[in-house]
């Protein structure tokens, strides 16, 4: 049994979509940001960084895993799905996972912050991060012109990590009209039952 600590953010949805795709039982523990639960001492013992998501693998000695990319790799290796075994193909999947972790997520996250939440509208910051997000989307577009999925011909943890962020592009009013392959990929994955169900975790009260 997997214990999932999460909230309704793109990073949180990575873990729940992965768990739904694997079809394994898991229990959801919603983390309330308004109460700063992610900074409480009990949670910092699970995730020292005080962020979501995090999991505890009850079947592996209550083993905790934090950081969304690390969670995806851990689950993929444990259950033998969504991460190729061939060393080169595995490396490609991890490369695209790291592209999301180091690029799409942080840059789009900053674009979201400066566009929607910053107390002062700073045009330079907004333009910098929105333009960088667009550049990263162009990299995804180019990749998907030559490959059905980010890591090749099959769904991988790279797709599971990237899709929630592309889905959340509305926060910065970013259209996919200039990225037709990315748009088709986003729609195709968004129609998968596990992506639909995983995106609804945690349930809104």
Residue 205 lies in a domain: no
CATH code for the domain of 110: 1.20.1050.10
75 in any annotated domain = yes
Does 155 share its domain with 96?
yes
| CA torsion angle 173 54 161 23 (round to 10) | -120
Share of the chain above pLDDT 70, in %: 100
> In this model, does residue 125 exceed pLDDT 70?
yes
Confidence band (pLDDT; 50, 70, 90) for 203?
confident
In terms of domains, do 178 and 92 share one?
A: yes
Number of domains in the chain: 2
**pLDDT score at 204:** 76
Is there a domain that residue 105 lies in?
A: yes
**H or E segment and range at residue 166:** helix 157-167
Q: What's the domain range around 76?
A: 2-81+195-200
- For the whole prediction, is pTM greater than 0.85? yes
The answer to whether residues 174 and 153 belong to one domain is yes
Task: Quote the pLDDT of residue 171.
Answer: 86
CB-based contacts of 146-149 (< 8 A; 24+ apart in sequence): 149/185
Segment 80-92 shows an average pLDDT of: 97
Q: What is the mean pLDDT of the chain?
A: 97
């Amino acid at each position: 049994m997997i214990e999932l600590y999460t909230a309704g953010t793109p990073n949180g949805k990575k873990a729940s979509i992965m768990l739904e795709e694997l079809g394994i039982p898991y229990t959801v523990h919603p983390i309330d940001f308004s109460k700063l639960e992610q900074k409480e001492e009990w949670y910092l013992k699970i995730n020292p960084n005080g962020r979501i998501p995090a999991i505890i693998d009850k079947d592996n000695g209550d083993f905790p895993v934090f950081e969304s990319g690390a969670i995806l790799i851990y689950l993929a290796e444990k259950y033998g799905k969504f991460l190729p075994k061939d060393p080169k193909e595995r490396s490609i999947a991890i490369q695209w996972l790291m592209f999301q972790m180091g690029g799409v997520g942080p840059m789009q996250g900053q674009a979201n912050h400066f566009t929607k939440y910053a107390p002062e509208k700073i045009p330079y910051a907004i333009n910098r991060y929105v333009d960088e997000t667009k550049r990263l989307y162009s990299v995804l577009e180019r990749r998907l012109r030559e490959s059905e999925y980010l890591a090749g011909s099959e769904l991988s943890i790279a797709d599971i990590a990237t899709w929630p962020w592309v889905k959340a592009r509305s926060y910065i009013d970013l259209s996919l009209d200039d990225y037709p392959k990315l748009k088709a990929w986003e729609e195709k994955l968004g129609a998968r039952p596990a992506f639909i169900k995983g995106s609804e975790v945690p349930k809104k009260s």
